[in-house]
Amino acid sequence: MANRTITLSQQAPVAINDETWPLIAEGRYARDTRNGTPLPQYEYDSHSIRVRQHADGRAIVYGILRGATAWTGTEGVKAGELLEAGEDIVHFIRQVGAYCGLSEHAISACIADLPAVELL
């Protein structure tokens, strides 16, 4: 039973269940104030990138740039990659982020939000 459809880059979207594909990392950025005054959502671009991972190790990295076209001239973009177990998630966070034109802040925040690698 799918409850989310994710746009992938250069392939058909995938439908997943949030329970079997939990969110493991996320980065967001929106310059939603001007001189300390909150802006209405239609006046600013919103950047987000997320990573979901299945128990079998596969992962999905996907990004969304919601452009405030009338105000900023930015077009919206969605992209994503389906990774096999063991693939370099950080590489694909950077790749999807670049494709979508996401801010370095959102990309770095997502990488920092990944589960820690245990060093022995």
Residue 53 scores a pLDDT above 60: yes
- Tell me the pLDDT tens digit for each residue of 54-113: 999 999 999 998 775 555 556 778 999 999 999 999 999 999 999 998 999 999 999 999
Q: Residue 61: which of 87, 35, 40 has the closest Cα?
A: 87
Q: What is the pLDDT of residue 45?
A: 72
For 79, the 3-state DSSP assignment is: strand
The CA distance from 111 to 1, in Å, is 29
Q: What is the pLDDT of residue 87?
A: 97
The CA distance from 114 to 109, in Å, is 9
CB 39, CB 25: distance < 8 Å: no
- Identify the residue with better confidence: 78 or 31: 78
Q: Residue 101: which of 51, 44, 46, 56 has the closest Cα?
A: 46
Residue 38 scores a pLDDT above 90: no
DSSP H helices, 26-88, are 69-72
User: C-alpha angle with apex 43: 25 to 97, nearest 5 degrees?
Assistant: 30
